[in-house]
Amino acid sequence: MRRFVAGMLAVLMLAAVGCSGRSSSGSQEMVIRMNIGTNPPSLDPRVTTGLPEAHVEIALFEGLMRLDEKGNAIPGAAARYEVNDDATVFTFYLRDGLKWSNGDPLTAEDFVWTWKSVLDPLLASEYAYQLYYIKGAEEMNTFTSDPKWENASDEEIKAEFERLAQNFGAVALDDKTLRVTLEAPTPYFLSLTAFHVYYPVHRASVEANPEAWFRNPDTLVGNGPFRLVSWTDKDKVIVEKNPNYWGANEVKLDKIEFYLIEEESTATTMFENGELDIIESGVNTAELDRLKEQYPNELKILPDLGIYYYLFNVEKEPLNDKRVRQALALAIDRNAIVTQITKGGQVPAYALVPEGIPEGNGDFRLNGGDFFQEDVEKARQLLAEAGYPNGQGFPTLTILYNTSEGHQRIAEAIQEMWKNNLGINVQLTNQEWGVYLDSRSTGDYEIARAGWIGDYIDPMTFIDMFVTGGGNNDTNWGNAQYDALVNTAKKSADAAERYKAMHEAEAILMDEMPIMPIYFYTRVIMVSEDVEGWSMPLTSPLNLRDASIKK
C-alpha cells in the first residue's frame, strides 16, 4: 500500500476528546479528529492504493476477515471459515443478518460481484493483481493484453470477460456461503481478505453512479462500523457510527472527523492546541526532538513494515542506463537522512524487503543481507562509464514528490548530495496527492518519491510490485527472469523454494536498480493516555473500531 507521509513520518496522534464531546449541537458525543494529510482521490476500495484513503475505508467497509491488534486475521463479515487439506479451497460462512449501511441485506454474491468488478479490465484497478491467487482471476484481468483486443469495443471486452468469469474460483453457494478456490496454496490468503481490495461494495449504488458513488453519503453504502456523513474537499471527511453494522454494540465512538491538512507545521500546531486528536500524517519532523521531550508518555516509536524509496523512470534518458541508476543510489548518505532529517528511528535501506518478515526460524531480510552500501567513488566511476565524467553533460532531472514538508526536506538533502558527490543538478517539484499519483501511473516523471507498506506479512507483498506491467510498478521496468521467479514463488507449495525464488528476484531488482531504497519506516506515534482500544497492526491502517475515551 502506498504511503503518503514522509520522514518519521506516519505519525499518529491520538488524544482524548473528552466526555463533553464536540458536536455542533452541543450534545455529548464521543468524537475523534484525525489528520490523514491529504484529500483522498477516491473512497472506492477497489481502486485506491494509498494510506490516506485506507484510513477512511477501514471505517466504512469490512472484509470477510479483519485484523486484530496483533495483525492476526479474525472473523469480520464472515462468522467462520473452513479450509481443505491442501489449503486451496476456503469456504466462508457469513454472519446472520448482515446488512449494508442502508439496511439492504448483504450476501455472499455481493463479495463475488465486487471481486469480479475489481478484475474487470475496464475498471483498471491497480490492485487487481491481489486477486490473482483466486482460480481464473488473472486471465479475467489480463486477457486484453493480447494484441488482438487492442481495437475491441467495450461490449466485446465485457462479453469475453463474462465468458472467462464462468470459471472464476469465487462462488456464492447460497446467500451466506462463499467458496473460494485458489490457484495454489497461499499462506497469507486469510489476511488478504481483510485488505481493502477485498472489501465488498454495494452493486446498485455503484452501477447507478459508477464514477462518483463514493462521494455522496446517500450512495456510499458500506458495511463497516461507520458510515459517511460528509466529504468536503481539502477540509475533512466525517463518518458516524453505522447502526446496521453487525458489531454496532461494540463500537463506542459516535463520529470520526478525518482532516485533510497537508502542511505539517499546521497539523502539529493544531494537535498541540487541542484541535486534532490524531495525526496519522503531518507531524513537523523539525520539531520531533522537542515533541519527544514535551510528550514523553505519548510519543512512541514502533516497528513498521514498509520502505521509503525513489522511483526511476527507466524510459527517460539517462535513467534508461543501469549504471546511472546505480550511481545515483550509491551517492546518497542514508544515515544522515535518518539521523538528521527524519529522526524517528528509521533504518537505512540497502534492499527492498524490510526486517520483520519470518523465513523459517529466521528473518527474510537478515537472511538476505544488504545488496550495496554508499560508495561515492564507485558512483563517480559508474557515472563516468555512462558518459558523464564528474557529471559533465548530465541533464537536469526533476524529483517529483507529493506535497509534504517532510518529503521536501528529504528531496533537498538528496539534491545536495548528488550535487556534491556527482556534480549533477536536479530540480524539485511537488504535486497534490491525487495529481502526483496520476503523474506516476502515467509515467509523467523522471524521478519520483514513493513509499510502500506491506499488505500482508510475507516478502511477496514487496516483491510482486515490480513484475512487468504490474499495477503498482510505475518505473516502466520489466525483467522476464524476475517475473518467472515471482511466479514460481506464488505457485510453489514448498516454502524453501518460495523463499529462494524471492531472494533471487530481489537480487535482480537491486542490481537493475529501477528503484532507490532510502530507509525502512518506523511508526512514530503519539497516543493520549486517555485513549484506549485503538489498534495499528503492521499491515493495517489505524483502526478506531474499538477505540474509546476513558471516562
Q: Give, for all 551 residues of the chain, the pLDDT tens digit.
A: 766 543 333 333 333 333 334 433 345 889 999 999 899 999 999 999 988 999 999 999 999 999 998 889 999 999 999 999 999 999 999 999 999 999 999 999 999 999 999 999 999 999 999 999 999 999 999 999 999 999 999 999 999 999 999 999 999 999 999 999 999 999 999 999 999 999 999 999 999 999 999 999 999 999 999 999 999 999 999 999 999 999 999 999 999 999 999 888 898 888 889 888 888 777 677 788 898 899 887 777 778 999 999 999 999 999 999 999 999 999 999 999 999 999 989 999 999 999 999 999 999 999 999 999 999 999 999 999 999 999 999 999 999 999 988 899 999 999 999 999 999 999 999 999 999 999 999 999 999 999 999 999 999 999 999 999 998 999 999 999 999 999 999 999 899 999 999 999 999 999 999 999 999 998 877 777 777 888 888 888 889 999 988 77
- Output phi, psi for 309, to 5 deg: -155, 170
Please identify which residue in the block is written with the cell numbers 463479495: 111
Given its phi and psi angles, is residue 548 left (phi above 0), alpha (psi -120 to 50 degrees) or beta?
beta
Please identify which residue in the block is written with the cell numbers 479528529: 33
- Output phi, psi for 488, to 5 deg: -60, -45
Q: Residue 115 to residues 58, 59, 193, 200, 464: CA-CA distances in angstroms?
A: 17, 20, 11, 8, 20
The span from the CA of 44 to the CA of 219, in Å, is 12
The span from the CA of 454 to the CA of 432, in Å, is 23
The span from the CA of 114 to the CA of 202, in Å, is 8
Domain spans of the chain, in order of start: 62-209, 305-521
Pairing of strands 299-312, 515-527: antiparallel
**Is the omega angle on the peptide bond into residue 318 within 30 degrees of 0, that is, cis?**
yes
- The grid cell for 192 is 488478504
Which CATH superfamily is 62-209 part of? Dipeptide-binding Protein; Domain 1 (3.90.76.10)
pTM across the whole model: 0.87
* Cβ atoms 245, 20 nearer than 8 A: no
DSSP 300: E
Q: Which H helix or E strand runs over 137?
A: helix 137-142
Neighbours of 3 (CB within 10 A): 21
| Residue 437 CB contacts under 8 Å (≥ 6 apart), including other chains | 2, 41, 49, 50, 402
What amino acid is encoded at 428 in this protein?
L
- The grid cell for 227 is 458510515
Specify the fold of 305-521.
Answer: Dipeptide-binding Protein; domain 3 (3.10.105)
The span from the CA of 380 to the CA of 220, in Å, is 54
